[in-house]
Amino acid sequence: MFFNLENLPVSIYVKYMSKINDIHDGTFKDILKYKDTAKNLLKVTLPEEIYNSIDLSKGINSVNTEKRGLQYKKKLLDAALQVTLKNNKKAQAYFIIEHKSESAKFTPLQILSYMLCIWEDNYNQGKELEFIIPIVFYHGKGKWPHPVDFRDFINVEEGLKKYSLDFRYFLFDTNDWDAEDLRKENILDMFFYAFILTFKHIFDKDLGELKKSVKYLSSEEGSGWILIFDYIVNKKDIREEEFIEVVKEAVGGDKMPTLAERWIQQGEERGEQRGIIYGETKRLQQTVIKQISLKYGITDSEKEFIKSVTDLDKLDKATEAILSEDSKAKLLDLLK
């Protein structure tokens, strides 16, 4: 049964789109926590000069972009990775995740906003400005039609552009990639294939190409395939029973029971755990808001910032520090 989102009340529409965005955002960030996947995505996206300047032996770590708090105005889905360059300097790969090419007018502005926020932090801490590598991960229909240089978004004649602020973002367009292209790059990671294929075809009307993604995952030994399964089911809004039939068709009846049982069992366990964590997070957020409000007063933007913090350790420390801290600013700093 299909319905027109535009006919929904505004409050319900916002909640619905927020849920959909959370699915994209959360899945992409969770996938990047798999180090080989993060490394492969950087490899196929960045020029050799930049990729080869990264010291992969020193690890790749996820960065919580939400912690930027009041200064960083997030409008698009994003993720970030902390890396170390071979000259021992820190750097960040900053991703915008986009599937609607028409919203690209926000893309360079959000990248710039994030850069400025990081650099302001660097400056305030007496550090050198960090090298930031902006990347747009596009998985929409049709080619990405926009320039990759910031100055080309500025409406000024060509001769004056050289005086404009400028930076370049790197584009990964899933329309340009399939399994054969990835093999040519000497990437043999089946989970990475499934990740790219799933994001590339998640908006297809049928499940034809997504079945190939499921097939790649049938040889996956780790737990990453559960992320992909959950993403497909949630985004395509299909029942688990229907998806089990898709799995059966894609990988064969002999493997299907094991995959399906593991997926359902882990889904139940994760759902239970997420419910506990979600409840505790909301409780601590409300405690911090209430205590700060009583002691200092609180603005709407400060409330929204506190509600965006999901790190239980930080929320716990803030609740403990309320009695001893002598300023609201210090308390808010504990949450960043």
AA letter at 266:
Q
- Dihedral sign for Cα atoms in the order 168, 77, 44, 92: positive
R_g (Cα) of the chain, nearest Å: 22
The pLDDT of residue 77 is above 90: no
Q: In the structure, what pLDDT confidence band is assigned to residue 216 with cuts at 50, 70 and 90? A: confident
Q: How far apart are CA 25 and CA 77, in angstroms?
A: 6
Q: What value does the mean pLDDT of the chain take?
A: 80
The pLDDT of residue 34 is above 70: yes
- Dihedral sign for Cα atoms in the order 240, 242, 246, 247: positive
In this structure, the dihedral spanned by the alpha carbons of residues 297, 301, 303 and 309, taken in order and rounded to 10 degrees, is -140
Q: Which of 219, 218, 272, 264 is nearest to 243 (CA)?
A: 264
Comparing 139 with 251, the larger pLDDT belongs to: 139
- Chain mean position to CA 260: 26
Q: How far apart are CA 85 and CA 2, in angstroms?
A: 49
Comparing 20 with 84, the larger pLDDT belongs to: 84
Two tokens, residue 165:
């602020």
Average pLDDT over residues 59-87: 76
297 in helix, strand or coil?
A: coil
The pLDDT of residue 62 is above 60: yes
* Contact predicate 13/5, CB 8 Å: yes
293 in helix, strand or coil?
A: helix
Comparing 84 with 301, the larger pLDDT belongs to: 84
Comparing 68 with 189, the larger pLDDT belongs to: 189
Q: Determine the pLDDT at residue 239.
A: 74
The pLDDT of residue 28 is above 80: yes
Average pLDDT over residues 42-58: 95
- Give pLDDT tens digits for 245-302: 777 777 665 554 455 555 555 555 555 545 556 677 888 889 999 888 888 899 988 8
